[in-house]
Amino acid sequence: MSKVIRIGTRDSELALWQAKTVASLLEKNGHKTILVPVKSTGDLQLDKPLYEMGITGIFTKTLDIAMLNKQIDIAVHSMKDVPTALPIGIVQVAVLPRANTKDILIFKDNSDFLDTQEPAYIATGSLRRRAQWLHKYPADQMMELRGNVNTRMQKLEQSNWQGAIFASAGLDRIEKKPKNFTELDWMIPAPAQGAMMVVVNADNEDAIQAVSQLNDYEAEMTTHIERQFLRTLEGGCTAPIGASATYDADKEIIDFVGVLFSLDGKEKHIIEKQVPLNQWKKLGFFAAQELLENGGQQTMTKLKQELKK
């Protein structure tokens, strides 16, 4: 392919790292690339919680428009930020090998407060993280935290908060993970957390062919399951929904866990499944249906009403 592939990306440090990674991989395969950075609405409006901003696609909308207007050929996203339904004319072509899917707590001084009964101030902009934290630590106060990784870490340093919750993968990628953190093994991650997705204009056959060579089948499979679970629950990417699918190659089985919480963390619905590899394509759907039938539907109905307020 002699034509230069124009790679659209947000202009944060993490987004640029992801776009440069894809550019490097494409160039190793003999393709020419150029980065086209843009600012998204989600990056510009830092004074409102995400759920008040009509969240669906807030970090991808600007790039979607640029792609449909043929200003860029492909776009690189943190997959957990991408709506489960892509715009007409844009297709998912590659999911790169997945990084650490876990959330971590970065703490200011030490983590001793986790072992006491004293209320702590914990920051996050995610309803999923907020609900799961409150389920485990109901006395704590949750503080709103927005912005890119560097902005959020600076806000934590300048605050009186005890800690803030981050995705491990983002900090690892830009080498910003501090020593003072603890991995939250008990917190179920966002669907597709730790995954990078590359989308392409559906009628750009050259770009589709080039990008398809980057796809990792295991990452594509596990993220499909998690996002199918999310889509079936009809939850936006900020709803208190977590999902994790892992593949055991030796046993050829998929392990899945999905959760749905109320906003205050008091209600918790969990579904766990283990299925043979040949059943992966509908695993997320069936798991979500079972969760909804066992009390989750009432919680989802209540959530939608609360998030509209």
264 annotated active-site:
no
Amino acid at site 92: Q
Choosing from 43, 64, 73, 81, the catalytic residue is 81
Kindly tell me the burial class for residue 99, based on how many C-beta atoms sit within 10 Å of its own C-beta (0-12, 13-18, 19 or more).
middle
**DSSP codes, 155-223:** HHHTSS-SEEEEEHHHHHHTT---SSEEE-TTSPPPTTTT-EEEEEETT-HHHHHHHHTT--HHHHHHH
Contact 25, 212 (CB under 8 A): no
Pairing, β 5-10 against β 33-38? parallel
Q: Is 14 helix (H, G, I), strand (E, B) or coil?
A: helix
Residues serving a catalytic function are 81
